[in-house]
Structure formats: C-alpha cells, structure tokens
Structure 1
C-alpha cells in the first residue's frame, strides 16, 4: 500500500483547474513489474484532477447610473410600504405614519388650490355635480339609446349623408333646451337656416340666437366667447364642412390649401372643450361625409374637418335614413324612417341603435317614439296586432294606435310620463337586452334588430 500511495509531488500542490490535466504515462521507478500497471492506473486516478468548467466572472458595470439606483431604492421602499400595509402596520386610523401622510396630502391640495384657484384639485366624493347631467334630445327612442339624453357640457358630433335628418335632430335639441328655460345658439355656417321649419319643430325663433359667420375662424371664436359667458346651454354648429378658413376664402379657387380646416378645428377644440365643460354648455357639431380615394376594402367614408373632433367628442351619432314612409293612399312620400347609431359614447354604453320616423314639415314623430318606447318597456302591451294600455284598447295595428294617441292627448301624456319616469330602469333593461339578458335571466340581444 505504501508503494501504491506515494506522497504527492511538489509540483501538484499548486495545480490549478485552468491547467491541462496531468497525464501519467510511466509508472514510478520504485514499483515492481507486476504492480506497474496497477500503480500507473492508481496514480493516474489519484493525481489527475477532473476537468472543471471555467467559472464566469461577474464583471461590474463600469458606471451605475443614478436613475437605476434610485429605481431600486424606490422599489425597495414601495415593497416595504406594501409589506407594512399588508401586516396591518398602517391599517389603523390612529397610526402616526398614516396621519402624517394624510396631513401631507391635505397640505399639498391646499397649496395647489391656493396657487391655481379653488377647485383645481378636489375629491370626487365632495365635488358637487361631478356626474354628467343630460337633457332630452327631442326623440324618446334616442334618449333611451343614449342612457337618458344628450350630455351637458360635452362635445357631441352628429354626422351622416345628405338629407338624413342632422339639422332636424339639432333643431329638436334646441327646442327641448328652450322648453327647459335654457338659451340656445345656432351657428349657421351653411347659410341655410329656415325659420318657418324651425318654428314648426317647436323652436322659439324669437329668442334663438343665430350667427351666420363669414369664415371658420369667426364662427369658432364667436362660439367660444358665447360659451365662456356661461349663459348659453347649447351651441349648434351647422356644419363643420362649411367652416371655411380665412386663408382659403382670401385665396383663389383651385389653390392647394393643405390641412387648414383640420388645424383650425384642432386648435378650436383644444380651447372650447374645457370652456364648455366649465360652463355646462353642450357643443353640437353637425358634420358631413366624404369618401376616401382608392379604398377597395373597408369603409371608404370619412368625416370632414380632420380627426380631432373624433377624439374630443364625448358622443358621436351616425344618422341614416333606412326607408320612406308612404301616405295612406300610397301615392306620395310623407316622411322617412331614420336609424341613429351611437358610434362613440363616454357617458353611456356605445353601439346602441335607435329608430324613429321623421315626417316632412313636422319633424320627428313623437307619438311614434312614445309608442315604440312604451312597447319596449312593456308599458303598452301588444297582443297580436292589438295595442292596449292598462284597460284601454288603443287600436288594432300601429296606425290605429297612433291615431288614438293623437285624438286622446291625455292618455298620450300619461304614457309619456310613465315612460320618462322609467328611463333609468329602461336604460338598465335595454342594456340587459343588448347584453342578451332579460329582467331575471341574462340573454344576448340587440336593442333594435336590423
């Protein structure tokens, strides 16, 4: 055993794993010939180390940035704060650290309100009027689709093809504002205002403020000043496409004026949207449709005036006529059937639809809207072709029921009051229908089927 385990040579004591392994080719001279192969193998197994992988050295960054160090510090402090809250260290109202944080927050809010004015920052629970108010649009089915009506202090865009009912809808909204005791203004950029038709729709033309501007800058500046006065409840601009920039008017016809109207609308909306919100004035923009060139797939339609209005608008309504209404004899057209789609809404659920009738010379058929909403809300029951309200039989068929409501305004007013009182419930009911729910069981279904 002594011969098979000789002492380690001195050159192996400083052996490094980075040097090639020791290869013993010959046995030691002191071993016998019989044990020479065994000694060689044992020595090789004893003195030959295993080949180890080269260790990776962690090289520090040449220069650690202050931002990364501060980020690690912030993460550490945040983790400590979350851990303390999770352990209940800051859960008590009497905890001194929580009290100090609350005092610091109150002091910061007080300082901001002193610097920028009272109400610059406030808690939502203590802010009166933090929720959006609405007013009737003049069409009951559209009010249901909007969740109660048009929002106050917001930007509303109504767009669609020609003769689809945009101006009619705007005049009905003006009439409803005036009935509530408010003031309304019409910016007639198209210079096509018809006082007789407006009066037939219920507009008080004696107290209506009308402006027919010379250019787009004049129209938007007048609208902004009236909005900042705080005495206007609704400003209707008819239409965005007619807001011609001053440079385009002063130039020659055919000159290339790129992006003038889009820049004009973008700058005006940046100013007017905040002023309208503070004054509680609704800005209603009527817009026309243009077509993109070279579009083979998708919708080629686009609204004029750039895309700023799409972003600033809280509600965007697309209006289109879907059919004509014939007279009783069927020899002439007496109206059109219209569908309005809520393409965007920041105050209610979007993508709802409302259908109603617009009669020539009369405007929106309010009796038809009342009957449709009452049937939807199950205020008026329909069995077969018969309509009935409580114990009153309105008539067989829609036309007979409308005739009965026209001849009995007391019953019509009673049904309208019941329906309007159920608007919050009706909105919920219609949302359930839109999500495919009934009052008891959720079901998926559109409010107005195509």
Structure 2
C-alpha cells in the first residue's frame, strides 16, 4: 500500500505540472531537481573570489560600491583583464568618460587582449542597459561592467535638461527607470554566460536627521543585485606612498554566505594579485605568519609536492615570490578557494 500511495502522489505532482504548463505557457515551471546549478567564473583576484563564493555568478547582477578613490575602477578593470587574457570578451561601459588608452595600457590592456576589451560610452541609461543586454546575448562575453550608476540618467531627463526652461531632476526619475527595466535585465541575463557588474557610489544621506549613507539607483536596483560589495574604507600605508588597501564587505550575497570581508591591496592604481592571495591564504592557514615573515604551510607543501617554503618578509614580497612561481601560485589559489568555501559555505542538513 505504501508504494501505491507514493506513486499516486508522484502522478498528482506531474499532473499539476502539466496543467500549469498548459495554462500558463509563458511562465517557466520546473521541479526542484531540474533547476540548473549556479555556475561561476573567477575574477583573478583572490580576495574578491573569496567574498563572492568562488567567482562571479553567471546570470546575476553584482554591485561594487564605494567612495571616490577607493579602488572600484581598478578592481573592475583588473577583472575584465582576467577575462580577455583567458580568450573571452569583456564590455566596459565608461559613462564617467575617464578611461584613456594610456590608462588601459598601464593597467595591462594592450596587444592582442585589447581587441577583446570593448569600451563603450552610452548616452543615457536606457541605452546602457540595451547595449549590456546585447553583449550578454553573446556567448563569448563573460563580464559586463557599467561605470557608474549615478551617470545612468534616463533619456527623458537628458532631453528636458536641454530645454531652456528650468528643470530640476530628482533621484526618483532614475529609480523609476530601473523599475521599468528590471525585468529586461533579469530576463536577458538568465540564459547568458555573463555577469553584470554595476559600479556605484556611496553618498551621505542628507534626507534623514539620522545621517547614514546610501547608494544611488533606488530600492529596485538594490533588490536586483544578487551580491552587493561595499568598500567600507581605505587605509594608506605610511611607509609606502601610493599603496592603499581597500576594505570590502559583502553586505548582501544570495549565492554564498554574506557579511564576509577582505582587503584588496592596490599599488599605484594596480591590484596586487599575489599580495591579495597571501592575505587570504593566511586566513585559512595555508600560509604561516611569524612576525612579518611568511612561509607556506608544511602539510600543504607535502600534499602538493611544492619545494618552495619561505616566501619572505612582508605580504608584498611574499606575493611577488608567488607570482614568480606560476605553478605554486595556481595550486595555492585553488586550495585557498576550496578551503574558504568549505569553511564559510552554508551547510544544509546534518549536524550543526
């Protein structure tokens, strides 16, 4: 009798699914075991990948927000460079019109990879979204960056600003634009191979007696993000001018554990990849720190068959030693992500 009851319940479930599909043909119905798993691709920056949960989530929207000179553009361009170096295409929407050829060459975007690094300056907000969706439909495009949200002004606002009559646009006009376009963005990314990164600013909240900060775009855009990374503050290194450490916190993450933080070292505008890897490896115990000296964990070295042991004094020098040893760098990067995900991943079921 028990087997017969289970079969009956299954047939009822399948019957209901068929009824729903026939009645609501435009809606997407599926059972839980047929939903596709979330795919990711790496940013090339260890600290960012650890916050994200292994890399950029495919088909999702991510926010990177912070105050001026916090490293937002440096991080996003470095992430785009990682994609074009791996034979994919990246789209960088420069609404602020601050990117120059010399700057990109300085960041490493030159030669063959520059052909796959596409820059675009949209005229207004709706055009930026349309161009991003066209790029997302291309299978070779992995990362789309829009820099930045406050410059995505609606076309109606720009048209009225050109009139002789006085016009004072409000923040609600931009929020209304995103409210109209949110479904287009979600639908366009659902079956794509891309992740869309919106760079945003953090501004003081002047509309409240309690102060605080907010990011432009309205509540609709905030809810649209699957992940929100905020640069809370930056610290300067007194003994080395030009070096800053951007402290980033994931205030929202619907694909991994939220509330995690990291610091990304940036020297003269360039993200220090090796130094970022050292910082994350120390957190999970794959690199030992004794005073200011760094060395690889002995157990990890023996498991991977790595000859390198001592990395040097200071995380900067340790990072350069790793960058000069590509095989060790890759092995450590893979193990750092694996260990980090095992440590902070939400474990459902079993012992808690």
Alignment counterpart, residue 175 of structure 2, candidates 262, 266, 276: 262
Relative distance call for 1:113 and 1:172 in structure 2 (3 A) is: farther
Cα offset, 1:431, TM superposition: 6.3
- Tell me if the contact between 1:137 and 1:169 (Cα under 8 Å) persists in the aligned partners: no
Alignment counterpart, residue 55 of structure 2, candidates 149, 173, 177: 149
Q: Which residues of 2 match residues 220-239 of structure 1 at below 5 A? A: 220-239=129-148
Q: Which residues of 2 match residues 49-448 of structure 1 at below 5 A? A: 92-95=2-5, 98-110=6-18, 112-113=20-21, 120-127=28-35, 130-203=36-109, 204-252=113-161, 254-258=166-170, 259-293=172-206, 295-299=208-212, 301-326=213-238, 333-361=241-269, 363-389=270-296, 390=298, 392-402=309-319, 404-405=321-322, 409-410=324-325, 413-429=327-343
Q: Which one has more relative contact order, counting CA pairs under 8 Å at least 6 apart?
A: 2
1:349 and 1:281 mapped to 2: Cα distance? 22
- Please give the TM-score of this superposition, normalised by the length of structure 1: 0.66
Rg larger for: 1
Relative distance call for 1:221 and 1:400 in structure 2 (3 A) is: closer
Count the aligned residue pairs.
330
Secondary structure of 1:387 counterpart: strand
Secondary structure of 2:133 counterpart: helix
1:405 and 1:326 mapped to 2: Cα distance? 25
1:193 and 1:224 mapped to 2: Cα distance? 22
Cα offset, 1:338, TM superposition: 0.7
Relative distance call for 1:345 and 1:393 in structure 2 (3 A) is: same
Cα offset, 1:422, TM superposition: 4.2
Cα offset, 1:218, TM superposition: 1.6
Secondary structure of 2:119 counterpart: strand
Secondary structure of 1:285 counterpart: strand
- Tell me if the contact between 1:140 and 1:373 (Cα under 8 Å) persists in the aligned partners: yes
2:196 and 2:221 mapped to 1: Cα distance? 11
RMSD: 2.8
- Tell me if the contact between 2:277 and 2:319 (Cα under 8 Å) persists in the aligned partners: no
- Please give the TM-score of this superposition, normalised by the length of structure 2: 0.83
- Tell me if the contact between 1:373 and 1:419 (Cα under 8 Å) persists in the aligned partners: no
Q: Which blocks of at least 5 consecutive residues in structure 1 are unaligned? A: 1-88, 433-441, 443-450
* CA shift digits 1:347-399 (9 cap, x unpaired): 011111111211114x1111111222222232222233332234622224445
Q: Which blocks of at least 5 consecutive residues in structure 2 are unaligned? A: 299-307, 347-351
Counterpart of 1:66?
none
